[in-house]
Structure 1
Amino acid sequence: MIQLKNLSLRRGLKDLLIDASLTLNPGYKTGLVGANGVGKSSLFALLKGELHADAGDADIPKQWVMAHVAQETPALDTAAIDYVLDGDQELRQLEAELAAAEARDDGSAIGHLHGELARIEAYSAPARAAKLLTGLGFAVEAHRNPVKSFSGGWRMRLNLAQALMCRSDLLLLDEPTNHLDLETVLWLEDWLQSYPGTLLIISHDRDFLDSICSHIAEVANQTLTLYTGNYSQFETMRAEKLARQQGEYDKQQRQIAHLESFITRFKAKASKARQAQSRVKALEKLERIAPAHVASPFDFHFDSPDNLPNPLLRLDKVDIGYGSSTILRGLSLSVEAGSRIGLLGVNGAGKSTLVKLLAGDLPQQAGEVIKAQTLKIGYFAQHQLETLREDESPLQHMQRLAPTVRELELRSFLGGFNFRGDSATDLVGPMSGGEKARLALAMIVWQKPNLLLLDEPTNHLDLEMRHALTLALQDFSGALIVVSHDRSLLESTTDLFWLVSDGTVKPFDGDLEDYRQWRLAQLAEGNKPSSGDAQSVNRKEQKRQEAEARQKLAQLKKPLLSKLAKLEKQLEQLSGEKNQLDAFMSGEDAYSDANKAKLAEAVKRLGVVSSELAQVEEDWMLLQEELEALESSTQAD
């Protein structure tokens, strides 16, 4: 088992863990979760021997073989499949010993080594390596290509394959789904579910954690807490724990206030000095309970677009590709107002290529792209992060977007993306990928697009920010097209899917579970995916109607929501004035001779304000009922 005992870990001047303890039994599949910067990757570095604890112990059984994904891949001439086989170090060691024994013609050693190779099933190793490469998206003909011929993203997949090839007792995976497509994530899930060793995984993909994990270890408040169950079960248990903790914290704060009040009042009195001193000691010995932090640091939403033309965009017999190479042919598609579309397809099928065309970043090779006159696109892709100015702050980026808007308003907006205080004026250059992604999203949200194009928007985002983005997208009244390996985001924000396959784009009549089953069947059979096989369950018409209903509801609600906002502003003003009048009339000064006239005026004004307040409250209630009735009738339709 893995045992962390009274562990303290520091990076620079920052204490990551203080006196933390954790026990992981053999076979546990544990998700390591926590906000960015709390020390998850540092804990991995400690387990790998790259860091040393500042105090306490980290014990891993000496005989355990540990595997992890290398962060760097040298430009080697080694064939991809041989590079993957290098992950099984015992295999390579036995092969080297066998070659040496054969060179010196040592029959006894040769016999023994053949027995050892048989024990580890060495003769099936190339087939296992090929299966890993295929599962991770490598074409069979690419298995013999040299490592140096692959791009950075594919080299990371080679490193992952090499780690999986190792017959390990402990497997450490740090964000393994980043830069993988949905199909590869599904395959990796199945592989990890059957992994017999102990797994420790850092991931911000809640569906991935739900599918694999038997336990969740949370890093928070400089300590480690182990929960039994998957991520969804952890969220429920953590919420219950935080509610209890907040109650205990509030109770303790009252106790501390009472002790401090007694000390302040009586420490100078001789008759009470001893009692005051005893309370000082009690206060010093009190083990402080930390306040519970339940609220997300992120709070933002998409404002309603100024225009929602229909259709927003249409493709007529469009071919797209790069140079003389055509990726997708004969596309005739329409993006309607209110459409919420998820793009499915294997890596390299053309999902990002299609999004680039829709965004205007890639010209069509043939056909026509017809855009509505008032089309306003918000486009997020990984290369958008590279367009941020590293020598400027988030606030300066927003000021360039909105030069006439007050700084206070821009700071308040950035606060919803957790750029608060000094972080709003920090330079972008040293920021993490997650912080840059949050800034890029903030700039898109500010511009009030009516069509959102999101290409892997959750890479680098932690679980809290993914949740906040999901909620914001659910309320977005424009059209949405998203490419993502995050199934929770896809399931929560889209109504229909387009399948990018075989050089074309077609509606996929099914949900993500249908797609999962279809893809797993394709992988099991080893056949090339065909869009004709994708007719699982016909829900296209139902989903189209749902999209139309939501669009209709948004249009009907818009004037009502505008009235509601005005009423709420009136309520705030009238309530404030009533509180001031009540405060004046409850004071002794109001009834002095000098304030007789003022009191009379206050009594008169209070009657008017109370009457107006009652009317506005009634109007507000009626409007709320009208909105609820509108939503109910739309759902019933």
Structure 2
Amino acid sequence: MIQLKNLNLRRGLKELLLGANLTLNPGYKTGLTGANGAGKSSLFALLMGELHADSGDALLPPHWTIAHVAQETPALERSALDYVLDGDHELRQLEQELQDAEERHDGNAIGHLHGELARIDAYAAPARAGKLLTGLGFDVDAQQRSVASFSGGWRMRLNLAQALMCRSDLLLLDEPTNHLDLETVLWLEDWLQGYPGTLLMISHDRDFLDSVCDHIVEVANQDLTLYTGNYSQFEVMRAEKMARQQGEYEKQQRQIAHLESFVNRFKAKASKARQAQSRVKALEKLERIAPAHVASPFDFHFDSPDNLPNPLLKLEQADVGYGSATILSGLNLSVEAGARIGLLGVNGAGKSTLVKLLSGDLAPLRGEIVNAQTLKIGYFAQHTLETLREDETPLQHMQRLAPTTRELELRSFLGGFNFRGDAATDPVGPMSGGEKARLALAMIVWQKPNLLLLDEPTNHLDLEMRHALTMALQDFSGALIVVSHDRSLLEATTDIFWLVSHGKVQPFDGDLEDYRQWRLTLLADAGKPSSGDAQGLNRKEQKRQEAEARQRLSQLRKPLQNKLNKLEKELDQLSAAKAELDGFMASADAYGDANRQRLADAVRRQGEVATRLAEVEEAWLEAQAELETLEQAE
């Protein structure tokens, strides 16, 4: 079991835990919840041995194997499958020992090691790794691609697969759903439910916590409190506890008021001095009960749009894609005023591509998009965070949006997004992903859009901010189109769903639970049509859809990758030439009479190389940006 006894933990000058106690029995699936900065990630670092307690004990069984998701992924040339197999450390160690024994021709050791490999079922390991990768969205071809060929989000999936591959006793997961789509979240949920070890997980996805966890640990007030049940049950128990605490607090306040009143009335009277003094001592000894208070730091809403035309926009026989590759075709869609639409579909089907088309980031390859004259779009996607100016503050961002608005009004508005005091005037650069996402959302809210396009808006947001955003979206009077793996957000803010599949977009006849059952059935029953298949798609058609999406993207990726390779080769050649010229011109020999012509040639050549180097670097950056955009497209 995990035991924390009288634990004091500090980060810098901040006391995170003070005299905390916690016991987690083997097999517990525990969610860790608490405000940002309360100490959740520091507790993980403590369990992994990266931090040490200031005092107290953190006890884990010495033989336990601990698995966690690495935050960095080196650009390796080894295949994704081999990289995931590396997660089984015992397997890799035995394989290395076997190789050494074979080189020594040590028959006894070889026989023993084959027995050990059989014991851990090593020969099924590639199949197990392949199954993990398939569940996380990597097809058979992708499993053989090099790790270096994947974008950042997909590398995080590889790190997650590597952690799941480890035959661990304790699995630590910090926001595991952040880089996943809804389908992959459903698969991971199912996998974790069957995980035999002890699970400790930080997550801001309440549905995910509800489905996976049987215990919740609240990190608050420098303490750890264990609750039995899932997150919804935790909220009920915490509310009951706080109600009791508030009742006890109010009762004590009445008692304190009575004692203070007695002291104030009689302390000057000699006949009552002794009784007054005893009341003073009673007040001093009283162990004060704190008021129960869990107020959200977020308080904002969407103002009513200035105009709400109907329809807001229409797609007429529109095709969209990248370059010559079409991702979605024949789109005839209308977004009505007040529409609340959730987009569903497997990874790679084109959800983000559709949102980019609607936002104007992508122009239709064919057909047209007709916008109302007073259409005002608020668009949030992960790349939105990259448009923030790192050297500017939240207040400066707002002042650029509203140069004539008083600073006090802007500060008050930012306070609703928990940018209060110095937080409003700190530079954006060092901020966390959650803080940047809050600022980006604040800027969208200020502009009073009549159409909101939200592509995974809850990534990096904590539970309190997710709840505040959900409440604000429920009251939003404009139209909403959202892509999200957060089921709570989808269920609470959308009325209808569009299914993006097989290069088309069509209404999905059902709710989110119907979609969940359909997807789980497809995943579990590879060969049979799903009884919940509202669109009449069987597994074969599903595979074909995913293959066509991959093929469309591959048609664009290959020439871009070839272009990058060619540019990189030229960069290497130019850099070598520049280094050689710089070396010559820095030497004393360059300025002797014998090398006068060579020096002149070198000066001329240096200018040519520098000019060409700048051109090639610019072309490489553009090609790299195109490739990254393509890899982010669904």
Tell me which interval the TM-score lies in, with the shorter structure as reference length: 0.7 to 0.9
Aligned to 1:36: 36
Cα drift, residue 265 of structure 1: 7.0
CA-CA distance at 1:401 after TM superposition: 2.1
Residue 202 of structure 1 pairs with residue 173 of structure 2: no
Does residue 1:239 correspond to 2:239, yes or no? yes
SS in 1 for 2:523: helix
Q: 1:118 to 1:280 in 2, by over 3 A?
A: farther
CA distance in 1, matches of 2:270, 2:98: 88
Helix, strand or coil: the match of 1:187?
A: helix
Give the equivalent residue in structure 2 for 1:497.
497
- Aligned equivalents of 1:116 and 1:282: distance in 2? 69
1:588-610 CA distance string (max 9 Å, x none):
xxxxxxxxxxxxxxxxxxxxxxx
> For residues 265 and 103 of structure 1, what CA distance do their matches in structure 2 show?
94
The residue aligned with 1:140 is: 140
Secondary structure in 2 matching 1:63: coil
- Structure 1 CA distance for aligned equivalents of residues 84 and 393 of structure 2: 42
In structure 1, the residue matched to 2:165 is 165
| 1:51–1:272 Cα change, 3 Å | farther
Q: Matches of 1:529 and 1:126 in 2, distance apart?
A: 28
- 1:347 is paired with a residue of what secondary structure? coil
Q: Residue deviations 1:371-423, cap 9 Å, x none?
A: 01111111111111222222333223223222333333323322222222332
Deviations 1:49-92 (A, max 9, x none): 00011111111111111100011111112211111111111111
Q: In 2, Cα distance between the equivalents of 1:412 and 1:45?
A: 36
The total of aligned residue pairs comes to: 536
> Given the alignment of the two structures, is residue 381 of structure 1 paired with residue 350 of structure 2, yes or no?
no
- Shift of the 528–39 alpha-carbon distance from structure 1 to 2, 3 Å rule, reads farther
Q: Post-superposition shift, 1:258? A: 5.0
CA offset digits 1:290-324 (Å, max 9, x no partner): 22223222222212212211111111111111222
- Which deviates the most, 521-530 or 284-293? 521-530
Q: Which runs of 5+ in 2 are unaligned?
A: 538-634
CA distance in 1 between counterparts of 2:119 and 2:278 reads 70
Query: Is the contact made by 1:315 and 1:368 (CA closer than 8 Å) also made in structure 2?
Result: yes
Distance 1:93 1:277 in 2: 74
Measure the CA separation in 1 of the matches of 2:207 and 2:134: 23
Partner Cα distance (2:417, 2:242) in 1:
23
- What is the rounded CA distance, in whole Å, between the counterparts of 1:43 and 1:175 in structure 2? 14
Look up the SS of the partner of 1:390 in the other structure: coil
1:415 aligned partner: 415
Aligned equivalent of 2:369: 369
Q: Does 1:522 align with 2:522?
A: yes
Determine the structure 2 residue equivalent to 1:581: none
Give 1:526 deviation, angstroms: 4.4
Instruction: Give the 3-state SS of the residue equivalent to 1:439 in structure 2.
Output: helix
Per the alignment, residue 444 of structure 1 pairs with 444
CA deviation string 1:84-105 (max 9, x = no partner): 1111111111112222222223
2:321 corresponds in structure 1 to: 321
The worse-fitting range, judged by mean Cα deviation, of 3-12 and 246-255 is: 246-255
1:461 maps to 461
- Equivalent residue number for residue 187 of structure 1: 187
1:63 and 1:192 map into 2 onto residues whose CA distance is 22
Change (3 A) 1:528 1:458: farther
Kept after mapping to 2: 8 A contact 1:311/1:336 = yes
Q: Map 1:104-143 onto structure 2 (within 5 A).
A: 104-143=104-143
* Shift, 1:453, TM fit: 0.2
Q: Which amino acid aligns with 2:367?
A: G
Deviation at 1:35, TM superposition (A): 1.0
Q: Which residue of 2 aligns with 1:480?
A: 480
Q: Distance in 2 between matches of 1:126 and 1:497?
A: 38
Deviations 1:428-454 (A, max 9, x none): 222221122112111211211111000
Equivalent in the alignment of 1:228: 228
Superposed displacement of residue 509, structure 1: 1.1
Contact kept? 1:509, 1:536, Cα under 8 Å: no
- Alpha-carbon distance in structure 2 between the residues aligned to 1:528 and 1:143: 25
Tell me, yes or no, if structure 1 residue 15 matches structure 2 residue 18.
no
Contact 1:215 1:229 in 2 (8 A): yes
Is 423-432 or 279-288 further displaced after alignment?
279-288
Amino acid at match of 2:66: M
> Separation in 2 of the partners of 1:55 and 1:146?
45
Q: Distance in 2 between matches of 1:101 and 1:290?
A: 66
Counterpart for residue 98 of structure 1: 98
Is 1:296–2:296 an aligned residue pair?
yes
TM-aligned CA distance change 1:39 to 1:452, over 3 Å: same
Shift of 1:456: 0.5
Shift of 1:225: 0.6
Change (3 A) 1:529 1:291: farther
Question: What is residue 331 of structure 2 aligned with on the other side?
Answer: 331
Residue 113 of structure 1: how far off its partner (Å): 1.9
| Equivalent pair of 1:514/1:536 in contact (CA under 8 Å) | no
How far is 1:271 from its partner?
A: 7.3
Question: Are the structure 2 counterparts of residues 265 and 423 from structure 1 closer, same or farther at C-alpha, using a change threshold of 3 Å?
Answer: farther
Which piece of structure 1 moves more, 290-299 or 181-190? 290-299
Q: For the residues of structure 2 that align with 1:395 and 1:135, how far apart are their CA atoms?
A: 43
Write the letter of the residue equivalent to 2:37. G
Whole-angstrom distance in 1 between the partners of 2:536 and 2:235: 33
2:68 counterpart residue number: 68
Superimposed CA distance per residue, residues 127-157 of structure 1 (whole angstroms, 9 cap, x where no aligned partner): 0000000100011111111111111111111
* Partner in structure 2 of residue 151 of structure 1: 151
| Range with greater deviation from structure 2 (55-64 or 292-301) | 292-301
Secondary structure at the counterpart of residue 302 of structure 1: coil
In structure 1, give the amino acid aligned to 2:334.
Answer: S
Q: Aligned partner of 2:298: which letter? A: F
Instruction: Out of 158-167 and 94-103, give the one that drifted further.
Output: 94-103
Q: 1:529 to 1:13 in 2, by over 3 A?
A: farther
Deviates more, 1:421-430 or 1:232-241: 421-430
Instruction: Give, as a single letter, the amino acid of the residue that structure 2 aligns with 1:173.
Output: L
1:225-271, Cα deviation, whole Å (9 max, x unpaired): 11111111111111111111122223333444555566677778887
The aligned amino acid for 2:149 is S
Equivalents in 2 of 1:332, 1:523: separation in Å?
30
Alignment of 1:554-633 (within 5 A): none
- In the superposition, relative to structure 1, how do residues 250 and 116 fare at CA in structure 2: closer, same or farther (>3 Å)? same
The equivalent residue for 1:615 is none
What secondary structure sits across from 2:226 in the alignment?
strand
Q: Give 2:49's aligned amino acid.
A: G
Letter in 1 for 2:474: Q
Distance change >3 Å, CA 391–CA 103, structure 1 → 2: closer
User: For residues 284 and 114 of structure 1, what CA distance do their matches in structure 2 show?
Assistant: 72
The alpha-carbon distance between structure 1 residues 284 and 390, as it changes in their structure 2 partners (threshold 3 A), is farther
Whether the aligned pair in 2 keeps the contact of 1:213 and 1:229 (CA below 8 Å) is yes
For residues 68 and 379 of structure 2, the distance between their equivalents in structure 1, rounded to whole angstroms, comes to 34
Partner AA of 2:411 in structure 1:
R
Give secondary structure in 1 for the equivalent of 2:134.
Answer: helix
| Aligned partners of 1:217 and 1:225 also within 8 Å | yes
Shift of 1:216: 0.5
What displacement does 1:536 show? 7.3
Q: Partners in 1 of 2:263 and 2:397 — Cα distance? A: 51
Task: List runs of 5+ in structure 1 lacking aligned partners.
Answer: 538-637
Structure 1 pair 55/459, CA: closer, same or farther in 2 (3 Å)? same
Q: What corresponds to 2:578 in structure 1?
A: none
Residues 33, 218 of structure 1: 8 Å contact kept: yes
CA contact (8 A) 1:314 1:332 kept: yes
Identity %: 85
Give the superposition deviation at 1:109. Answer: 2.3
Per-residue deviation at 1:274? 6.4
In the alignment, the residues of structure 2 paired with residue 442 and residue 138 of structure 1 have an alpha-carbon distance, to the nearest angstrom, of 35
CA distance in 2, matches of 1:527, 1:298: 48
Cα RMSD (Å) of the superposition?
2.3
Structure 1, 252-261 or 121-130: larger mean CA deviation: 252-261
